[in-house]
Structure 1
Amino acid sequence: MSLHIAAPADVIRRRCEATTVRVTSGESGYEDGAVVPAGPWHPPPDDMVRRAASPAAVDTTLVELVDAAAIEARLLTAPHVTRLGRAESPARALTTTHNYRDGRRIGLHLDNWDKLSYHDKALGRRRLCVNLGPGTRYLLVCDADIQQICRAIRPDHVTCYPHTDDLRAYAAAGLPMTCLRIRLAPGDGYLAPTEFLPHDGSTEGYASPSTAAFWLGHWPHGTFRSAGSR
Structure 2
Amino acid sequence: MEADGWEWLVAPIQKLISWSASAAIVFGGVVPYIPQYRDIKRTQNTEGFSTYVCLVLLVANILRILFWLGRHFESPLLLQSIIMISTMLLMLKLCTEVRVTNELNIKRRSFSAADSKDEEIKTPPKRSFLDFDLNYFWHWSKFADYVQCVLAFTGVTGYITYLFLDSIIFVETLGFLAVFIEAMQGIPQLYRNYQNRSTEGMRVMDIYLENHVIVK
User: Common fold, TM-score beyond 0.5?
Assistant: no
Structure with the higher fraction of residues in helix conformation: 2
What TM-score does the superposition give when structure 1 sets the normalisation length?
A: 0.22
What TM-score does the superposition give when structure 2 sets the normalisation length?
A: 0.23
